């Protein structure tokens, strides 16, 4: 993943609000443009992995920007979300992904991503403190030499605290940018986003 000169996109393509209107989802067009910009910088052989795909808005955005490997993990525990709906939305908007259905933590601990090199990781699932911290820790064995970790809802106190504790314990991770969301006067960034750069450091 080309992390060095990654820049947060300034303007969202009109495709994103249109698609979001149709698909529905817990995001803003800017968030979709952000994951797409990150996915577009993946390098051959790398994967985009997303935990929490719901109806597919962020997954469609990212997978349209990256022809290579894309993995969506969801247990479809949230109302209105289902595998069938996700597959239909992906097909309708020209996205693609391998969908791994189940609890993200069990799947990651069980080696579900074995053999993959994850260049972009988007975490948008359970946001309690423990899950958030585990969601960052458990992806580490699969990360590419350089990777971007994007965490949604970073305005929330428990998410913010988990990110801070993760950064404090993991010297290979450094926060590249923090985009405040609606509670910080920027509703265009939903509930806030944290962008973390990972450097395997060999």
Q: Which among 25, 31, 131 has a CA at the least distance from the CA of 80?
A: 25
**Which residues in the 140-199 window bind ligand SAM by CB under 6 A?**
none
Taking CB under 6 A as the criterion, the residue among 13, 87, 103, 165 binding ligand SAM is: 103
- The nearest distance, CB 58 to ligand SAM, in angstroms, is 3
74 touching ligand SAM, by CB under 6 A = yes
Which residue in this structure is represented by tokens 């450097």? Answer: 199
| Cβ-proximal residue to ligand SAM, closest one | 25
Cα–Cα dist 170/30, whole Å: 28
Taking CB under 6 A as the criterion, the residue among 19, 28, 34, 54 binding ligand SAM is: 54
Choices 5-13, 97-105, 161-169, 170-178 (CB under 6 A): range interacting with ligand SAM: 97-105
Binding mask 125-144 for ligand SAM (x = CB under 6 A): xx------------------
Quickly list H helices, 65-183: 83-92, 104-109, 129-137, 157-169
- The nearest distance, CB 104 to ligand SAM, in angstroms, is 3
Cα–Cα dist 151/124, whole Å: 6
Size of the site for ligand SAM (CB under 6 A): 22
Tell how strand 46-51 and strand 98-101 pair up: unpaired
Helix, strand, coil percentages (3-state) for the chain, rounded to 5, are 35, 25, 40
Determine which helix (DSSP H) or strand (DSSP E) holds 68, and give its type and residue range: none
Tokens of 23: 């698909």
Q: Are 139 and 172 in contact (CB under 8 A)?
A: no
Which residue in this structure is represented by tokens 């525990």? Answer: 77
Taking CB under 6 A as the criterion, the residue among 1, 57, 144, 147 binding ligand SAM is: 57
104 touching ligand SAM, by CB under 6 A = yes
- The nearest distance, CB 202 to ligand SAM, in angstroms, is 31
52 touching ligand SAM, by CB under 6 A = yes
Residues that bind ligand SAM (CB under 6 A): 25-27, 52-55, 57-58, 73-78, 81, 103-105, 124-126
């Amino acid at each position: 993943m080309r992390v060095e000169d990654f820049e947060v996109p300034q303007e969202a393509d009109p495709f994103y609000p249109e698609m979001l209107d149709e698909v529905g989802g817990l995001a803003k067009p800017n968030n979709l443009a952000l994951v797409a910009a990150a996915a577009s910088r993946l390098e051959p052989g790398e994967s985009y992995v997303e935990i929490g795909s719901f109806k597919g808005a962020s997954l469609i955005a990212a997978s349209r920007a990256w022809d290579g490997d894309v993995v969506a993990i969801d247990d479809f525990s949230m109302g209105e979300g289902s595998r069938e709906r996700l597959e239909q939305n992906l097909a309708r908007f020209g996205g693609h992904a391998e969908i791994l259905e189940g609890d993200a933590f069990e799947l990651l601990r069980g080696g579900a991503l074995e053999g993959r090199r994850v260049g972009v990781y988007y975490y948008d699932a359970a946001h309690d403190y423990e899950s958030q911290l585990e969601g960052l820790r458990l992806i580490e064995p699969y990360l590419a030499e350089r990777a971007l970790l994007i965490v949604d809802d970073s305005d929330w106190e428990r998410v913010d605290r988990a990110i801070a504790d993760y950064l404090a314990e993991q010297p290979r991770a450094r926060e590249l940018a923090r985009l405040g969301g609606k509670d910080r006067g920027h509703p265009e960034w939903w509930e806030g986003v944290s962008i973390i750069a990972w450097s395997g450091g060999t």
